[in-house]
Structure 1
Amino acid sequence: MGSSSSTRPVVLVVEDELLLRINAAEIVADAGFEVIEAASADEAIDILEARRDITVVFTDIQMPGSMDGLKLARAVSGRWPPIKIVATSGLVDVGEKDLPEGGRFLAKPYSPEAIAGLLRELTAAAKR
């Protein structure tokens, strides 16, 4: 799998609620990114171990399973430091200290413009 500078950045959307995951994936794709979906943190880790082209992990915080989104964010930051983290929740308010360095929080409900702008900002920073 060769990658060229013309390929779209890859965003891994991690959301346990199917309709919310589909919606988020559509927003991310419409913003010009390639999307991969995972229904849990465990599935996300499996995908990250298999692929080397993921630029951003966009994760819900409240998820069932062995890890919630904050634990996933810390795991990703520890194992794959170049990957940017965007965490989202409608129930908890997350501060910068709750996320790994450079991680961002987006409250639900979020707008397509907010997601697109944040992803573009993070992927532009990654290219520098």
Structure 2
Amino acid sequence: MSISQFDPVVLVVEDQGLLRMTAVSIMEDSGFEAVEAKNADEALTMLRHYPDILVVFTDIDLNAEKDGFWLAEQIKIGWPKIDVIVTSAYPRPKNYNLDNVIAYYEKPYSEKDLINQIQKAVFGSRRGRSIAEFVSY
């Protein structure tokens, strides 16, 4: 089984360079194409230039005025079909819930859980796709 003509694109948003590089490597080692941004403004620029982005994996604390939750809200408005997965060193705030935030992982997160969640987002029913559309035998 091989995926043909389809490289799911994940946007990784992380202000810490080493963590960003690690997340990009995890995505690429799992068969995804990864693009990266170091803050919310750069992420929005990437979203405008890469229409094939299907999932955004973002840290909440981006050491800037605009955090990962702000970014998720902008994605919900401008790109409602893109799913967002957030990560943080802190527990998820109880009063925060956006329907495009499909998962929240505390650092350190499990690579396996993260990749499984991204696969669900890429091939899940919200997008109306099935893996059969992208796999050749």
CA deviation string 1:30-85 (max 9, x = no partner): 11110001011110011111221100000000012231000000100111001010
In the comparison of the two structures, how many residue pairs are matched?
123
Asked whether 1:20 is paired with 2:53, we answer no
Structure 1 Cα separation of the partners of residues 97 and 49 of structure 2: 24
Where 2:121 maps in the other structure, the secondary structure is helix
Is there any run of 5+ residues in structure 1 with no aligned partner, and where?
none
Partner of residue 88, structure 1? 87
Where 2:57 maps in the other structure, the secondary structure is strand
Query: How does the TM-score come out when normalised to structure 1?
Result: 0.89
Where 2:109 maps in the other structure, the secondary structure is coil
Q: Is the 8 A contact 2:56 2:83 kept in 1?
A: yes
Asked whether 1:61 is paired with 2:60, we answer yes
Q: Is the 8 A contact 1:58 1:86 kept in 2?
A: yes
Structure 2 Cα separation of the partners of residues 99 and 13 of structure 1: 20
Query: How does the TM-score come out when normalised to structure 2?
Result: 0.83
Partner of residue 78, structure 2? 79
Partner of residue 36, structure 1? 35
Partner of residue 49, structure 1? 48
Q: Which segments of structure 1 move beyond 6 Å, counting only runs of 4 or more?
A: none
Structure 1 Cα separation of the partners of residues 8 and 97 of structure 2: 22
Q: Is the 8 A contact 2:9 2:35 kept in 1?
A: yes
**Structure 1 residue 93: Cα displacement:** 2.0
Q: Which has the larger radius of gyration?
A: 2
CA deviation string 1:65-109 (max 9, x = no partner): 2310000001001110010100100124245x6242141211110
Is there any run of 5+ residues in structure 2 with no aligned partner, and where?
131-137
Partner of residue 135, structure 2? none
Partner of residue 100, structure 1? 98
Q: Which has the higher contact order (CA 8 A, sep 6+)?
A: 2
